[in-house]
Structure 1
Amino acid sequence: MLANQPPLRHLLLPQGAAPHASAILLARSLRALVDGYMAVLLPAYLLALGLGPLQVGILATTTLLGSAAATLAVGTWAHRLRRLPLLQWAALLMAATGLGFAAFSAYWPLLLVAFIGTLNPSSGDVSVFLPLEHARLAGAATGAVRTTLFARYSVLGALCAAVGALAAALPGWLTVRTGIAPLNALRGMFLLYALVGMVVWWLYRRAPQISANEAAPAAPLGPSRAIVLRLAALFSLDSFAGGMVINTLLALWLQQRFGLSLAQAGVFFFWTGLLSAGSQLAAPRLARRIGLVNTMVFTHIPANLCLIFAALAPSLPVALALLLVRGALSQMDVPTRSAFVMAAVTPAERAAAASVTAVPRSLAAALSPSLAGALYAAGWIAAPMVAGGLLKIVYDLTLWRACRQIELPEE
């Protein structure tokens, strides 16, 4: 099959995966590219508009709440609709989000666009794209190839987000080189976000349909309801903790605690993204040796300890070193978690399972940025990171205890 594929598919797809997955991987890469710089630039843009840290946190919460609502709608009704047109509509919504943020300066219109749109202030993907793409990927491979395919999905996202973080220096460069006003330079980055949304729409418009032997009829949750609800509750705890240290807030912490510039913060997120991508590439090999659940848990706990120690670090070099180690470990659970959910449910339930596990995660993650923003505004800038790290460790131990006995047919 692969011999007749274009070179791009050779680079993107693992051997044994269906050709239609290449469009998903490429679209994910482009979205991650713009998400990478948006997470860094969003607080700077909002502060430049005259907003405060608490309002930054509330807007991040609103963004995640909107993503949760859209994902819930997908989980409720997507089994009645074709996934590819839904992905095309999501891409158009992405373009409209960029235009809305570039056009508005007042707080309330921005809140509305944040709720309706696809902006992602976190290091992971919490958008409406996620359950649709996961369900389509799950039908493109089986067994170990599926885990590898999800790892490619995560790795490409991490690599492109790392490169995108470097683009956070572009507004400053434009201001120096061309004399453009800093606020207008920041608005230009939102226009670029909108343009990428249109490219993603074009990709999905040209994406091949799934062949009959690759597709499973979609259905709401049935036989797998109990395990999916258990996983959704556990993932929600992890996401609530992660919401306290999303990239937007971590960038704010670095600026307030150590005075890092946007360019310096962009370089930092570039390196953490590279480390994250490398670790996710290694995750399938580790999972084949010790299992999906063990890979999720025993790489996550050291990462969370590093997060706690970084919050209490006495100097910038120590804090950055600990955060880099965290970046090398904290995302190894991403492809393994996705593969675990898809393997633990029946093929017909995959779209619903991806949505049901994603919605509570988005809702939980939406609550904590406002809390973290309030703590920053009160001067307790280390508290969100410490609390987030401790809660994540509780999640890791609970997940291991609850899921270590679950037998997967593919393991």
Structure 2
Amino acid sequence: MPILQSIADEIGLSILSKAPRDAHLLILQRGFRLVAYGQSTLVLVQYLNKLNISDFRIGLFMTLTLVGDVLGSLVLTLFADKWGRRKVLTIGCGLMVSSGLVFCTSGSYFILLLAAIFGVISPSGNEIGPFKAIEESTLATLIPKEHRSTIFAWYGLFSAFSASLGSLTAGHITQYLQNEAFWSEIDSYRFVFAMYAMWGIIKGGLTLLLSDRCEVDGASAQQKANPPGEENSRDGTADQVPLLERGENGQPAPIPKEPPRNALGLTQETKEKVITLGLLFGLDNTASGLVPLSFVIYYFSTRFSLDPGTLGTTFFTTSVVAALSNLVAASLSRRIGNVKTMAFTHLPSAVFLSMIPLASTFTVARALLIARFCTAQMDGAPRSAFLANYIPDKERTSVMGIINVVKTICQSFGPSVTGYLAGRGWIRFSFMAAGAMKASYDLMILYFFSKASIQ
């Protein structure tokens, strides 16, 4: 039917269906990873709290977890193209499994902290580890430029929906185990971390199914197997294909020299781009660090005395709303560009975020939370597409890894601050400060990049 076809074209379903098999596998494995993140995030702070760990030490735990992720992620993403992207993704899955196993068997603060620092545990529900940078760089390699924003939108949709499914299932599973199976709260939370390890194993299996095309030299290897001009040789026109470009005097044109690169493999031009992007994304993630999802859940749980089932349903709803918003973002970016979509959709969410602690009832607070998530993640797909288009192919994986590390560093300071404020009953100031910082980021990203030639 023409109407259904037009809808499919508008939301990018046709483009998704024609994407390579590897792209589907990357989207699917991220979905399983975000289910794990959604489940663990719902119970992480409450689990640590039941182990009689103070709010300040919980905040410190989350900060050190993010700091510990920085070095490992930086090394893995910088060398992913040399070592092999699939190999690095598999290593990340192993770290994810090991962290889940430690969390479901140990109650020691320091052992859990070591597992979080050297493994993969998301304290905020956001991405952690080397996965996202490598996956997005690989998708940019597999997908034509004109279709990237659409594929990244579906990539974001599946991840957001998976995170919401994780929140929903974790809430109801723990409530069932506590109320029906009469498990202790600690044991019910540990069961969630056992599931976390299981999702890591499944993700690892999907990673092993990826083909050579995902590697940085996958396309070039394919070109070597079918060199340009080979098809022409079959019809006798191979000799018409020039081997070298000719200059005006008939001599071979000089081959352009590669620009000098620094120790990280970046040119001076790319370095300047990274500095600007790093400062702006750093501001946004500093704000995100003040309101990690674990502490938002903790705030709603303590402020309104909610049971795990209600918490799970609430954050399932917000995540579903956020997931569906990705499709709207893809449509907007095709019309007004990636940068304007990033700024105009993210700004309202910053305002709603700062208003949440002003709500005196759960109904109002939930409405503000849902309103925030209506646009909070709409900037994700356009931002990924913008970075993929803005950064040269040879430097994309390294740059995305560096940007993610900068974002993680900036985000790592927030939980300690919020933990300190929560311990004194001032957690509302974290919401207000985060909203103001995010609004500032939106205005600056619009100012610096709205007229960029490559979006």
User: Does structure 1 retain, via aligned residues, the 8 Å contact 2:37–2:126?
Assistant: no
Does 2:23 align with 1:21? yes
| One-letter code aligned to 2:191 | G
User: Does structure 2 retain, via aligned residues, the 8 Å contact 1:123–1:246?
Assistant: yes
Q: Note the 1:3-402 alignment, pairs <5 A.
A: 14-167=16-169, 168-210=171-213, 214=219, 220-222=265-267, 223-402=269-448
| One-letter code aligned to 2:331 | R
254-263 or 334-343: bigger deviation: 254-263
The CA deviation string for residues 156-178 of structure 1, in whole angstroms up to 9 with x for no partner, is 00001111101222122012222
Identity %: 30
RMSD over aligned Cα atoms: 1.9
| One-letter code aligned to 2:219 | E
Q: Separation in 2 of the partners of 1:13 and 1:38? A: 33
Q: Separation in 2 of the partners of 1:142 and 1:55? A: 46
User: Does structure 2 retain, via aligned residues, the 8 Å contact 1:140–1:146?
Assistant: no
User: Does structure 2 retain, via aligned residues, the 8 Å contact 1:139–1:215?
Assistant: no
The CA deviation string for residues 304-328 of structure 1, in whole angstroms up to 9 with x for no partner, is 1111111211221111101101001
Q: Separation in 1 of the partners of 2:405 and 2:304? A: 35
What displacement does 1:283 show? 0.8
| One-letter code aligned to 2:25 | A
| One-letter code aligned to 1:220 | G
The CA deviation string for residues 196-218 of structure 1, in whole angstroms up to 9 with x for no partner, is 1111111111222217663699x
User: Does structure 2 retain, via aligned residues, the 8 Å contact 1:64–1:362?
Assistant: yes
What displacement does 1:104 show? 1.5
Q: Separation in 2 of the partners of 1:277 and 1:317? A: 22
| One-letter code aligned to 1:226 | E
Where structure 2 has 5 or more consecutive residues not aligned to the other structure, the ranges are 1-11, 223-263
269-278 or 18-27: bigger deviation: 18-27
User: Does structure 2 retain, via aligned residues, the 8 Å contact 1:12–1:25?
Assistant: no
User: Does structure 2 retain, via aligned residues, the 8 Å contact 1:20–1:209?
Assistant: no
Q: Separation in 2 of the partners of 1:213 and 1:250? A: 42
- Could you say if the C-alpha distance between residues 216 and 78 of structure 1 is closer, same or farther in structure 2, counting changes exceeding 3 Å? farther
Where structure 1 has 5 or more consecutive residues not aligned to the other structure, the ranges are 1-9
Secondary structure of 2:104's partner? helix
Report the counterpart of residue 7 of structure 1 in structure 2.
none
Larger Rg: 2
- Could you say if the C-alpha distance between residues 389 and 279 of structure 1 is closer, same or farther in structure 2, counting changes exceeding 3 Å? same
Report the counterpart of residue 5 of structure 1 in structure 2.
none
What displacement does 1:182 show? 2.3
The CA deviation string for residues 351-373 of structure 1, in whole angstroms up to 9 with x for no partner, is 01111111110011111111011
Q: Separation in 2 of the partners of 1:291 and 1:304? A: 21
- Could you say if the C-alpha distance between residues 12 and 78 of structure 1 is closer, same or farther in structure 2, counting changes exceeding 3 Å? farther
What displacement does 1:143 show? 2.2
Secondary structure of 2:413's partner? helix
The CA deviation string for residues 119-158 of structure 1, in whole angstroms up to 9 with x for no partner, is 1122432332111111111111122311111111111000
Provide the TM-score with structure 2 as the length reference. 0.84
What displacement does 1:301 show? 1.0
What displacement does 1:40 show? 1.0
Q: Separation in 2 of the partners of 1:116 and 1:12? A: 41
Q: Separation in 2 of the partners of 1:66 and 1:12? A: 41
Q: Separation in 1 of the partners of 2:354 and 2:165? A: 26
What displacement does 1:15 show? 4.6
| One-letter code aligned to 2:443 | L
194-203 or 57-66: bigger deviation: 57-66
User: Does structure 1 retain, via aligned residues, the 8 Å contact 2:174–2:308?
Assistant: no
What displacement does 1:12 show? 10
- Could you say if the C-alpha distance between residues 22 and 215 of structure 1 is closer, same or farther in structure 2, counting changes exceeding 3 Å? farther
